[in-house]
Structure 1
Amino acid sequence: FRPEGFAGVEKIYDRGVFDYLSVSLWCDYLNYIQEHDPSVRECSPDGISKARNLFERALTAAGLHVAEGNKIWELYREFEQAVLHTIDENDIKAKELQVQRIRNIFHRQLSVPLVNLRSTLLAYKAWEVEQGIDLDARSSEVDGISSHLASAYQKAMEAYNVRAQHEEQISMQNISDTEKIQNFMNYFKFEKSVGDPARVQVLYERAIADFPISIDLWLDYTRYLDRTLKVGNVLRDVYSRATKNCPWIGELWVQYMLSLERGRAPEKEISSVFEKSLQCTFSTIEEYLDLFLTRVHGLRRRIECGGEVNGVLDYSLIRETFQHASDYLSPHLKNTDGLLRLYAYWARLEMNLGKDLVAARRVWESLLKISGSTLEAWQGFIAMETESGHISEARSIYKRCFSKRFPGTGSEDICHSWLRFEEEFGTLEAFDHAIQKVTPRLEELKLYRIQQETKASTDQSEVSGKKIAREKRKGGSTATGKESPAKRQKQTAQTQKKGYEDKDQLQKYEVNEAREAKIDLEKTDSAPDEKQMKGSDVVRTKGYTDQCTVFISNIHFKANSEDIRKFFSDVGGVASIRILHDRNTGKSRGLAYVDFVDDEHLAAAITKNKQLLFGKRLSIARSDPKQNRRDDRRVPREQAFASDRRRHNWESASKEYVDTHNASGSQEAPKTATLKSDDNIQFKGKNIFAVPRNVRTLGLSANKSKTVEEGDEKPKSNDEFRKMFIKE
């Protein structure tokens, strides 16, 4: 040991016991001082005072440590006992004073819930016997001691017994860190319910010593101290250690600065902590933003309250902090709400606290250079000028930005905002001028939206068409392509027998049906009301089973999914809505599928058949996927939709469906007659080729002869007629 190295070793001990709670380190420190400090070793008055102060520090830090705190108490008593032996026998007063000091240490220890407390009581009794007090030193009961000490001892024993289970859990070996932390959390909950902050703090220190870089522990510890102790020095020390162990947590630095502000710390200390925080590396840029804003908030509060006690704060310090934040954060927060918040706050303080309108305008102009494509930046600038009564300046900003292109509907919003501004603040001439400027801009934006929607619709149709073509190349196009030529020839001959003598007409019907079914599939799977993944160029085709679905026709072209959902609001149970759209125009075809969650809601929905929506009677029928199956195999969706549509037309024979079909892209046709029981009814229009045999087509009079083979005299039912046309 070198005497000149004593001071350095003492500093190392001080740092160690400051950073972490360790009873063994405290004991080493105390023994080192007694052994190597000459003044303490010789029991000089200064040495004794120094040792006692160190022992009291140790008791404050670890004297409540349930499992190991008794070691420090014992060292303290041994030191005072050694001092007692150094006192002259003739100095009765000094000896009595020292005996009382040792007795007080015993009493203090016996009132604290510690391990081996019963052994401490026996040691105290034996010591009192040495001092001439008549006690039963072998008895562990409280007989013979003062009632005050006996009561304190019994309370301490009860408190220890309650904590014994928690102490056993946190001292368990061979358990995971997660389990051990959870045991500490349970212990925290118990100690907080008792309500002794000193004991809670010691328990937190014990947990921190075991898990020094646990973020949750440090955050929980500091929040507890902020709520309960609020002692400046204690909080400052804990936050200093927290940021030293977990410097990458921005929230700890923010709370550290707030704690210093609550404790009336000088500006120099707060500034030092702030500068240290900026040298750390955080996981998100928002944490840096929070640090800058916390710093500005603190400066603003202290300036508004009259500055600090020993110094003067002025607004220039806030301006420097904002400029530092702008240089630091602007490259990373471009076009974000965080940067807008920073600059808006800056401009407001320039106006209200700095009393400098020109500087506030410079702040907004700086933001526009960085985030000029952000609508909120322009709106904030305009709001500041409007609130300040500078109408001309606000109008000039509108003139600068109304022709800019903003995301979403921002371009339209700024135009309408300008018109409202002129209505509320401007003259009639200014309002007319704004209309003259805004109107062509709105028309241009409207045309641009239509072009973009048409382009997107076309691109989606092309993608869907390419996907269908790939599927055809992979697995065969349709069931018809798998049939043999003889079978297709036989089916064609049978079809002609059923009333289709015009071969060209039949071929045209098949082509039209296939084309329309393809359009229906594309538009159903890529309808505007379907949610699609952002940034994706490909629309994935969905598979619909139509197990609990209704098919609706004669829908008004202006009706959207929300209107249909409101129409069924009294029924409820709507799962999804698929409106079919025209491929070229993107407009509604007046047809839709509505999926329900169960058959009860579906049955209730069908009862709304023929009810009005936007002045048009809806035709509602169940979409039956079973009619589209053969040999337990699902037919393509193109054929399924075509079958649903034909069945719906044949069974309802309604005027509304024909009108809708014609309006969705078909050629204009004469009005269709309503279905009657009279057999002389005639259908007019384009789709006259797919009707049951017992309904006469246009141009077939009652006297016209028919070619009917034997066995076909009996009219076929709808189901028989449908099965004849559905192909695998």
Structure 2
Amino acid sequence: MNNLFPLTPAMWQQWANDETSLISSSSSSSSPTRYADAVSTIEKLYERGVSDYLSVSLWCDYLNFIQKYDSSVREFSPTGISKARDLFERALIACGLHVAEGSKLWEAYRSFEEAILNSMDETDLESREKQVQRVRNIFHRQLSIPHSDMMSTLLTYKAWESEHGNTLDVNSSSTDGILPHVASAYQKALDMLSVRADFEEKIVGSDASDTERLQNYMAYLKFEQSSGDPARVKCLYERAITEFPISGDLWIDYTNYLNKTLKADKTLRDVFNRATRNCPWVGELWVRFMLYLERSRGSEKDLSDVFERSLQCTFSTIDEYADIFLTRVDGLRRRILFAKELDDGLDFPLIRNTFQRACDYLSPHGSMLEAWQGYISMETEMGHINEARSLYKRCYSKRFAGTGSEDICNSWVRFEREFGTLEDFDHALQKVSPRLQELQLFRLQQESKNITSTTDHKDDPAKKIKGEKRKSSSDAPNEESPAKRQKVKAPNKGSAKVNKVENSSDPTPHGEDSGQKAKDPTPEKFKQYTDQCTAFANSEDLRGFFSDVGGVGAIRILLDKFTKKSRGLAYVDFCDDTHLEAAVAKNKQMFLGKKLSIARSDPKGKRKGPNAAGHKTLTERPGEEKVELKGRNTFAVPRALGWSKPPSSSSAAGDEKPKSNEELRKLLLNKT
């Protein structure tokens, strides 16, 4: 289990105790070599345990085990004493600043040194005096560090000094009789403890929830960082990590602090190893780990190992995968370009292979625009133009987040402007233009849905209907009153109407038409169109559609006066009958992926049919005054009705009988 994930201090203690019980029961029958090997094995267990998390109790168990089962330490041989002292000093470095429990280690250290003193020959005064001074120094060091039981430590120290010939008031908590520098250090530590007492109470208290305790730790850490003592900050971070080992934010905060204070210190590597073992699902930790190794001039093998380990993990977002790949290739590029003195067998194919792995790895999961752009940029900088072009051909049709799809298309065109031939540039435009139109269409549809959704939920429809006038049931859903229409169209009597291009398979996508309008009691102004079967066109799109016909004049797209969205209808002016007939002949042709309906329009009155001088009249409504149009003719695309039936192929263009808008509506209603 520990190969995959760190163990808690309690689990390490249980494991070590189990192993210790085995050697205790077989110590009498086992050989000295086997016994020593068993002790060494348990020492390694303790070493692994204390490296996972900060634990004063685990360190105490480790130290007690060494003193009891290591014969060299137990017998106070020079080698054993040196080994034990090194271990005690390591324990103090790790946990000696622990405000709540650190005093346990100091007391264990003093007890060991006093045991050495008691074992010495009483006639060897010089050695004994040195040992007494060693114990005194440990007392002095402990008194200069804020601990929860500082008062008890002071009284113990005064009693110890009295035993060794110094007259002190052992019942008083004052520092009278103590060396001035020791008394000053003790008072400073006492002040530090009083400032931290409230923080300690909040993080040690068991009545608070885990969330509150973590917040208390963060407040405590902020305070310690302001005091400017990195050792104390590091110790507190370790305490917090022990309590909350799978808090990704805490590990990120910890490694960020160490990066600022320790830079490329080797101890930071151990912290990153532990961080990625505790929170392997946090991509930012792996990215920081790789950057640290690069900063500290780690070997290519180390960087590769960390990178490969990161790919075995599962991250919550695709961006984390992309960041890891980009960090890896960026590091490779820098090492190759700026550190050529390193002979690690690095070359550009390795970067290319990593980019390829990124594309293959992430393509099933989603887009990774930055990886493609980085890959293309690298090939371009290296002068591999054909390779960069092939990458554009592979990725321009992919879907990227935000405006990424448009960006990659436009980037390809710019690339060919700079590096390609005219044929390459034309080919890029040929590929990119339909893609950009498709993306624009999709974005407009999404915006339309969002606007509709927002409008539907903005106000209570019941409040809006109250007090509003309903339109006459005889009005067509999208027609204006005759007076208003004549007023609007007076300045441009040859105007043409073009709207949203609707799906021919669903002529009335919203269930609204002239035949239904009279039966629908809902006022027109409150109807909302979802445009689920609608493709949007603008004036430039329409002008381009009729570019082969020519003669296009003004183009006017009608907008809904409430939603400000296209009503799906537009008027287009043509300069003469010839161009008009050619435009009508394009009826039912595909436009932006939909079939377009084109019909002649008579917005003013009814015509009897073809008449003298080649003038044509079209009827918009029964009963309206006949108006003969001269000059420019018009055609129309009815709005939500769908598409009119194209002129019969057996009729000449000049002999066809124009249909009014009302007739077109009825025709389409019967058709559907």
TM-score by length of structure 1 reads 0.59
One-letter code aligned to 2:290:
M
Does the C-alpha gap of structure 1 residues 171 and 308 become closer, same or farther in structure 2, counting only changes over 3 Å? farther
Does the C-alpha gap of structure 1 residues 315 and 558 become closer, same or farther in structure 2, counting only changes over 3 Å? closer
| Cα displacement string for residues 383-429 of structure 1 (whole angstroms, at most 9, x for unaligned residues) | 2232336454223322444456742337999xxxxxxxxxxxxxxxx
Does the C-alpha gap of structure 1 residues 404 and 205 become closer, same or farther in structure 2, counting only changes over 3 Å? closer
Higher relative contact order, structure no. (Cα contacts within 8 Å, ≥ 6 residues apart): 2
State the partner residue of 2:43: 10
State the partner residue of 2:419: 388
State the partner residue of 1:590: none
2:499–2:557 Cα contact (<8 Å) kept:
no
2:100–2:148 Cα contact (<8 Å) kept:
yes
- When structure 1 is superposed on structure 2, of 182-191 and 400-409 the one drifting more is 400-409
Within the candidate set 357, 373, 377, 1:348 is matched to 377
| Cα displacement string for residues 650-702 of structure 1 (whole angstroms, at most 9, x for unaligned residues) | xxxxxxxxxxxxx997876599xxxxxxxxxxxxxxxxxxxxxxxxxxxxxxx
Between the two proteins, what is the percent identity of the paired residues? Answer: 47
Distance, in Å, in 2 between the alignment partners of 1:296 and 1:146 is: 61
State the partner residue of 1:361: 389
Within the candidate set 99, 110, 115, 1:82 is matched to 115
Does the C-alpha gap of structure 1 residues 383 and 222 become closer, same or farther in structure 2, counting only changes over 3 Å? same
Distance, in Å, in 2 between the alignment partners of 1:664 and 1:180 is: 76
One-letter code aligned to 1:459:
T
| Cα displacement string for residues 328-355 of structure 1 (whole angstroms, at most 9, x for unaligned residues) | 112222xx3x2x3312211211221x44
| Cα displacement string for residues 592-618 of structure 1 (whole angstroms, at most 9, x for unaligned residues) | xxxxxxxxxxxxxxxxxxxxxxxxxxx
Distance, in Å, in 1 between the alignment partners of 2:221 and 2:508 is: 62
Distance, in Å, in 1 between the alignment partners of 2:229 and 2:620 is: 78
- When structure 1 is superposed on structure 2, of 80-89 and 44-53 the one drifting more is 80-89
State the partner residue of 2:61: 28
Within the candidate set 140, 145, 154, 2:173 is matched to 140
Distance, in Å, in 1 between the alignment partners of 2:121 and 2:391 is: 79
5 Å-filtered alignment, 1:287-436, equals: 287-307=320-340, 309=342, 311-333=344-366, 336=367, 338=368, 340-352=369-381, 354-367=382-395, 375-388=406-419, 390-402=421-433, 406-409=437-440
The Cα of 1:195 is off from its aligned counterpart by: 2.4
One-letter code aligned to 1:379:
N
State the partner residue of 2:452: none
Within the candidate set 240, 243, 250, 1:207 is matched to 240
| Cα displacement string for residues 29-64 of structure 1 (whole angstroms, at most 9, x for unaligned residues) | 011111111221222222222111111111111101
The Cα of 1:176 is off from its aligned counterpart by: 2.1
Q: Does 1:525 align with 2:527?
A: yes
Within the candidate set 485, 503, 508, 1:459 is matched to 508
Distance, in Å, in 1 between the alignment partners of 2:520 and 2:504 is: 19
* SS of residue in 2 equivalent to 1:459: coil
5 Å-filtered alignment, 1:252-291, equals: 252-291=285-324
2:503–2:534 Cα contact (<8 Å) kept:
no
Distance, in Å, in 1 between the alignment partners of 2:90 and 2:277 is: 22
- When structure 1 is superposed on structure 2, of 27-36 and 258-267 the one drifting more is 258-267
State the partner residue of 2:656: none
| Cα displacement string for residues 287-324 of structure 1 (whole angstroms, at most 9, x for unaligned residues) | 21111111111112222222464635322221121121
| Cα displacement string for residues 428-459 of structure 1 (whole angstroms, at most 9, x for unaligned residues) | xxxxxxxxxxxxxxxxxxx9x95634759943
Distance, in Å, in 1 between the alignment partners of 2:437 and 2:557 is: 28
1:402–1:411 Cα contact (<8 Å) kept:
no
The Cα of 1:526 is off from its aligned counterpart by: 2.8
State the partner residue of 1:549: none
| Cα displacement string for residues 515-564 of structure 1 (whole angstroms, at most 9, x for unaligned residues) | 4695984565236xxxx597999xxxxxxxxxxxxxxxxxx976857xx8
2:398–2:405 Cα contact (<8 Å) kept:
no
Does the C-alpha gap of structure 1 residues 123 and 456 become closer, same or farther in structure 2, counting only changes over 3 Å? farther
State the partner residue of 1:123: 156
- When structure 1 is superposed on structure 2, of 71-80 and 322-331 the one drifting more is 322-331
Does the C-alpha gap of structure 1 residues 47 and 535 become closer, same or farther in structure 2, counting only changes over 3 Å? farther
The Cα of 1:141 is off from its aligned counterpart by: 0.7
One-letter code aligned to 2:176:
D
State the partner residue of 1:714: none
Distance, in Å, in 1 between the alignment partners of 2:443 and 2:271 is: 54
* SS of residue in 1 equivalent to 2:438: coil
One-letter code aligned to 1:526:
Q
State the partner residue of 1:422: none
Structure 1: unaligned runs, 5 residues or longer: 414-446, 466-510, 538-555, 565-576, 588-662, 672-728
State the partner residue of 1:98: 131
- When structure 1 is superposed on structure 2, of 360-369 and 7-16 the one drifting more is 360-369
The Cα of 1:219 is off from its aligned counterpart by: 2.3
Distance, in Å, in 2 between the alignment partners of 1:276 and 1:22 is: 28
The Cα of 1:223 is off from its aligned counterpart by: 2.3
Give the alignment's Cα RMSD to 1 decimal. 3.8
- When structure 1 is superposed on structure 2, of 312-321 and 71-80 the one drifting more is 312-321
Within the candidate set 190, 199, 204, 1:171 is matched to 204
Does the C-alpha gap of structure 1 residues 94 and 383 become closer, same or farther in structure 2, counting only changes over 3 Å? farther
Distance, in Å, in 1 between the alignment partners of 2:145 and 2:238 is: 18
1:62–1:69 Cα contact (<8 Å) kept:
yes
5 Å-filtered alignment, 1:551-566, equals: none
Does the C-alpha gap of structure 1 residues 98 and 581 become closer, same or farther in structure 2, counting only changes over 3 Å? closer
5 Å-filtered alignment, 1:447-596, equals: 452-453=501-502, 458-462=507-511, 464=512, 515=517, 518=520, 521-522=523-524, 524-526=526-528, 532=530, 577-578=562-563, 585=569
Q: Does 1:152 align with 2:185?
A: yes
Distance, in Å, in 2 between the alignment partners of 1:102 and 1:112 is: 16
One-letter code aligned to 1:143:
D
One-letter code aligned to 1:347:
I
State the partner residue of 1:679: none
Distance, in Å, in 2 between the alignment partners of 1:140 and 1:125 is: 9
The Cα of 1:138 is off from its aligned counterpart by: 2.6
1:454–1:586 Cα contact (<8 Å) kept:
no
* SS of residue in 2 equivalent to 1:74: helix
Structure 2: unaligned runs, 5 residues or longer: 1-22, 24-34, 445-495, 536-554, 572-618, 628-672
The Cα of 1:274 is off from its aligned counterpart by: 0.7
1:188–1:200 Cα contact (<8 Å) kept:
yes
Does the C-alpha gap of structure 1 residues 303 and 126 become closer, same or farther in structure 2, counting only changes over 3 Å? same
Distance, in Å, in 1 between the alignment partners of 2:564 and 2:430 is: 41
Does the C-alpha gap of structure 1 residues 310 and 122 become closer, same or farther in structure 2, counting only changes over 3 Å? farther
The Cα of 1:67 is off from its aligned counterpart by: 0.5
2:499–2:570 Cα contact (<8 Å) kept:
no
One-letter code aligned to 1:263:
S
The Cα of 1:375 is off from its aligned counterpart by: 5.0
The Cα of 1:73 is off from its aligned counterpart by: 0.5
2:557–2:570 Cα contact (<8 Å) kept:
no
| Cα displacement string for residues 103-134 of structure 1 (whole angstroms, at most 9, x for unaligned residues) | 21111110100011111111112222222223
5 Å-filtered alignment, 1:706-717, equals: none
Does the C-alpha gap of structure 1 residues 314 and 346 become closer, same or farther in structure 2, counting only changes over 3 Å? same
* SS of residue in 1 equivalent to 2:315: coil
State the partner residue of 2:280: 247
One-letter code aligned to 2:387:
A
Distance, in Å, in 1 between the alignment partners of 2:288 and 2:278 is: 15
Does the C-alpha gap of structure 1 residues 400 and 122 become closer, same or farther in structure 2, counting only changes over 3 Å? closer
* SS of residue in 2 equivalent to 1:150: helix
